[in-house]
Structure 1
């Protein structure tokens, strides 16, 4: 028993030993351990509350707010619990929050230099969640060239999943400071322009018929009301008449623009070939300023019945 008391006294002395002082508060191992435990509890509690909000929303489908609204509410509540848990933990273990004001200058310098981008991303994350201009499931095209579906919105970053199943971590400030094209923000239908060309001399009416037939053969095409497929002659190119197949596509097509374009081009080539319409290739005229080129036309080689060449 005396040995245990001696060991406990050593441990107690270590835990209560002052390492350093912040203002009037002595920082000891005991207080640091208590702070870590409280922070872990607040972290776990915040996750539990967020999952509880999502569970209640799913169990009351059709009677609660939309899924993006629930996601934003859950994230904001989680962050608030983190902040409150940190403040309560500091007060509980004896930290004088007023003494932490002495560190304000150092923190301000840190934010001004090394932490500026981190602080900007945190604020941008809150703006995204509150404004709801970006939500889970949206298909976006960023100014940096990243294109994909929004899979997760965090305080510091947003995770974008491309159609190749590649996750791209994008800082939240890029959504606030840069151009963002949200293909699924409001309207569930979008008009797409599929360019193609045909040879000069082709019948424009037959080209239109072939283009509309191609649009009807593709499952992504949406028609009805004011939405209908069209074929536009947009320019007289150097080697071709340049057309555009203009079609309306739904939410499934919006999330796979590369696949949709490839499908329409496949259908266009099929219909143009059926109609006997030539798809040209670039042609160039060669002008010789000096010298001479001799050209000799040979008779075509025709195999004989016995396999000999005549």
Structure 2
């Protein structure tokens, strides 16, 4: 459409609007409808003020009340600002029936009702919707649509957009279907994200479920929610789902050839979640030397955090095809050993009892499955070698210095009992005369 045609059409719409305004201003029926609108709005204003005060007094819960009923009451109170336009719309509808029966016309009241709906949409976006994404959608979609509806231009715009067709290969759809798909897709995937967050929070609190089962349930819920949202979106846009069969076949071939590693890691991740041999919070060590605490399990890889704070991304397949040592799988108790030596002049029969009693005082050392156990290891070059075995609840890492604490206890116990800890020494024999 060139500029001249656009200006002519705009002038035509302007002339139509002027004619309608002139007709309304000179018509007794129009003036009566204006009066009905004013009376309906005033009556809605009075009733909404009284009802708002009453509902606030009845529904407002105590600040410390966090029950489900209290949350529902707070949710209802959020929508009280909508009472004025909604009541005005309802009272105007009653007046419309009267004016149509008397004058046989209700164009002005119909316009007023649409204006009240526009005001309701504006209040909803400005004062009620707090979510950033929904607020953005309301400002740039809901309010413009409500404004076009109030002016009576929405039907013409929909008719124009329905006549414009967009083609993408074998798939074709109208421009209105594209717009509807964008809006519906935004709402569906926002709802999917919100539902996924709620289901994740709910499943995470289920302490009776094993951690691996919870992770699997969270992933399954996520796939189900967004898969359903995608199918609904395709249906809303009018896309024939049978046309996606070719795309599904291509994806299958890609998984079989180029994406086989990704598919293998995904399936391995599902197996890990089902078997539960390694889950979030476990300390594991792989054949390749990777070791750390599992902090996250994704569809492709498992993330370990080492003692020094580094994150190690390990493909899920490695947990299935290689040997994995899990220090937390059979409970959190682990056995450690520290070595020490005493002088040959020591009565070694006293050492085990002294050391075991000292180490047993450590709050982290367990007495089950076995208490501290001091064993004679051998006779070294400089002293008698001992080894102390002890069990602790956890692992000896950066925050748990079990081995260091136990060595301190052994040192202090030996010093308190006048037992010497030898240090290496050598006897040097010189043959011949000393050099002059």
TM over 0.5: yes
2:166 alignment partner in structure 1: 17
User: Within 5 Å, which residues of 2 pair with 1:115-134?
Assistant: 115-134=259-278
Taking a change above 3 Å as real, the CA distance of residues 55 and 284 of structure 1, as seen in their structure-2 partners, is same
Taking a change above 3 Å as real, the CA distance of residues 206 and 65 of structure 1, as seen in their structure-2 partners, is same
1:72 alignment partner in structure 2: 216
2:316 alignment partner in structure 1: 172
Deviations 1:78-137 (A, max 9, x none): 122233333443454344444444346654554355423322222222222222223332
Taking a change above 3 Å as real, the CA distance of residues 205 and 151 of structure 1, as seen in their structure-2 partners, is same
2:377 alignment partner in structure 1: 234
1:306 alignment partner in structure 2: none
Pick one of 388, 392, 411 that aligns with 1:269.
411
Pick one of 298, 310, 313 that aligns with 1:154.
298
Paired positions, count:
284
Structure 1 residue 259 displacement after superposition: 1.7
Taking a change above 3 Å as real, the CA distance of residues 284 and 173 of structure 1, as seen in their structure-2 partners, is farther
Q: Which structure would you say has the larger Rg?
A: 2
Pick one of 328, 333, 343 that aligns with 1:189.
333
Taking a change above 3 Å as real, the CA distance of residues 263 and 117 of structure 1, as seen in their structure-2 partners, is farther
User: Within 5 Å, which residues of 2 pair with 1:37-52?
Assistant: 43-52=189-198
- Asked if residue 212 in structure 1 is aligned to residue 356 in structure 2, the reply is yes
SS of residue paired to 1:204: coil
Deviations 1:150-192 (A, max 9, x none): 3222222333333444443333222222322222223342322
Structure 1 residue 211 displacement after superposition: 2.4
CA contact (8 A) 2:203 2:218 kept: no
Larger deviation: 259-268 or 42-51?
Answer: 42-51
Larger deviation: 70-79 or 100-109?
Answer: 100-109
SS of residue paired to 2:350: helix
Structure 2 unaligned blocks of 5 or more = 1-5, 14-152
Decide which structure has greater helix share: 2
Provide the C-alpha distance between the structure 2 equivalents of 1:139 and 1:152, rounded to a whole number of angstroms.
12
Provide the C-alpha distance between the structure 2 equivalents of 1:39 and 1:121, rounded to a whole number of angstroms.
30
Pick one of 277, 282, 296 that aligns with 1:138.
282
Taking a change above 3 Å as real, the CA distance of residues 50 and 193 of structure 1, as seen in their structure-2 partners, is farther
Larger deviation: 118-127 or 35-44?
Answer: 35-44
1:302 alignment partner in structure 2: none
Provide the C-alpha distance between the structure 1 equivalents of 2:428 and 2:254, rounded to a whole number of angstroms.
65
Q: Which has the higher contact order (CA 8 A, sep 6+)?
A: 1
Provide the C-alpha distance between the structure 2 equivalents of 1:218 and 1:285, rounded to a whole number of angstroms.
40
CA contact (8 A) 2:360 2:371 kept: no
Q: What's the TM-score, normalizing by structure 2? A: 0.52
Structure 1 residue 257 displacement after superposition: 8.2
SS of residue paired to 1:134: coil
Provide the C-alpha distance between the structure 2 equivalents of 1:131 and 1:28, rounded to a whole number of angstroms.
49
1:308 alignment partner in structure 2: none
Taking a change above 3 Å as real, the CA distance of residues 16 and 237 of structure 1, as seen in their structure-2 partners, is farther
Structure 1 residue 256 displacement after superposition: 5.8
Structure 1 unaligned blocks of 5 or more = 297-310
Q: What's the TM-score, normalizing by structure 1? A: 0.69
2:102 alignment partner in structure 1: none
Taking a change above 3 Å as real, the CA distance of residues 103 and 67 of structure 1, as seen in their structure-2 partners, is closer
Cα RMSD after superposing both structures: 4.3
CA contact (8 A) 1:50 1:75 kept: no
Taking a change above 3 Å as real, the CA distance of residues 25 and 54 of structure 1, as seen in their structure-2 partners, is closer
Taking a change above 3 Å as real, the CA distance of residues 82 and 246 of structure 1, as seen in their structure-2 partners, is same
